[in-house]
């Protein structure tokens, strides 16, 4: 036994990702984002388009809330009886720091997109930028979650998709809709493969 606490910590952190439910929930969020961008483009400045934009933030936060509940319920049903339950330590300071960081990253991304679009007047770059930012976030998530290798693959897919979609002559809303839709598919596939491998490797103990 090597008393390396960092290694133990990495293993325990990686445990949250070993069933694929998190990725499938992420796929659901991407699917909604993709539908939003495509529908916004389709509806344009009409009454329904305005309504969709107004309601989107509410729908998005509701989805995040439901997604978290759903993942918890699925883990409770399939994961805890097989490989056990872990509650991760998140102190209040870290929670606040994360919220502030998420807000700052969001604001920075919005500002960056606006500036680039205004300065260059080329909307075509938006999918590429989205892919790059998405890729960077996935690399960060992969590093934080003890180097779960599939996050790096998803990051590459994000960048490749973003760049490829920039070369296809599509309206920005459709291009973004396609990016998020295809990323949702990648997340669902990745999650499903991981889940099936997990279920095969970890049968339910007989006495549970």
Partner 1 sequence: MNKNLRTLTGLDRVIHEPARLMLVMILATVESADFLFLQRETGLTKGNLSAHLTKLESAGYVKIEKMFKGKYPLTLCKLTPAGIKALDGYRHQLDKALKSRGRG
Answer yes or no whether residue 94 interacts with partner 1 by CB under 8 A.
no
Cβ neighbours of 50 (radius 10 Å): 13
Distance CA 169, CA 164 (A): 11
| CB-based burial label for 198 (10 Å; 0-12, 13-18, 19+) | middle
Nearer to partner 1, 2 or 118 (CB): 2
Q: Which of 157, 142, 14 is nearest to 83 (CA)?
A: 14
Q: How far is the CB of 68 from partner 1 (least distance, A)?
A: 15
Q: Distances in Å between the alpha carbon of 176 and those of 100, 191, 192?
A: 26, 22, 24
Answer yes or no whether residue 87 interacts with partner 1 by CB under 8 A.
yes
Count of residues making up the chain: 208
Q: How far is the CB of 20 from partner 1 (least distance, A)?
A: 18
Nearer to partner 1, 121 or 208 (CB): 208
Q: Do 75 and 48 meet the contact criterion of CB atoms below 8 Å apart? A: no
Single residue of 15, 42, 113, 198 touching partner 1 by CB under 8 A: 15
Nearer to partner 1, 84 or 169 (CB): 84
Single residue of 51, 86, 108, 115 touching partner 1 by CB under 8 A: 86
**Phi-psi region at 146: left, alpha or beta (left = phi > 0; alpha = psi -120 to 50):** left
Angle of CA points 35, 117, 132, to nearest 5° = 60
Answer yes or no whether residue 8 interacts with partner 1 by CB under 8 A.
yes
Residue ranges in 46-85 that form contacts with partner 1 under rule CB under 8 A: 73, 76-77, 80-81, 83-85
Nearer to partner 1, 8 or 115 (CB): 8
Q: How far is the CB of 140 from partner 1 (least distance, A)?
A: 20
| CB-based burial label for 91 (10 Å; 0-12, 13-18, 19+) | exposed
Nearer to partner 1, 97 or 108 (CB): 97
Q: How far is the CB of 205 from partner 1 (least distance, A)?
A: 7
Nearer to partner 1, 79 or 138 (CB): 79
**Which residues of the chain form contacts with partner 1 (CB under 8 A)?**
1, 3, 5, 8-9, 11-13, 15, 73, 76-77, 80-81, 83-90, 205
């Amino acid at each position: 036994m090597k008393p390396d606490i960092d290694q133990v910590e990495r293993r325990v952190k990686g445990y949250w990702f070993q069933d694929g439910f998190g990725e499938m929930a992420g796929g659901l969020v991407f699917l909604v984002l993709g539908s939003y961008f495509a529908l916004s483009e389709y509806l344009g400045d009409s009454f329904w388009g305005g309504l969709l934009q107004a309601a989107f933030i509410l729908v998005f936060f509701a989805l995040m809330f439901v997604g978290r509940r759903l993942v918890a319920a699925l883990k409770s049903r399939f994961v805890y009886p097989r490989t056990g339950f872990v509650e991760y330590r998140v102190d209040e300071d870290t929670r606040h720091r994360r919220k502030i960081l998420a807000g700052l990253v969001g604001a920075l991304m919005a500002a960056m997109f606006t500036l680039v679009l205004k300065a260059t007047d080329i909307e075509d770059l938006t999918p590429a930028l989205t892919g790059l930012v998405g890729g960077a976030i996935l690399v960060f998530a992969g590093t934080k979650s003890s180097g779960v290798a599939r996050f790096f693959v998803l990051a590459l897919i994000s960048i490749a998709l973003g760049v490829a979609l920039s070369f296809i002559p599509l309206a920005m809303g459709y291009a973004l809709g396609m990016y998020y839709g295809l990323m949702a598919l990648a997340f669902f596939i990745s999650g499903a493969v991981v889940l099936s491998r997990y279920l095969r490797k970890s049968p339910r103990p007989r006495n549970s």
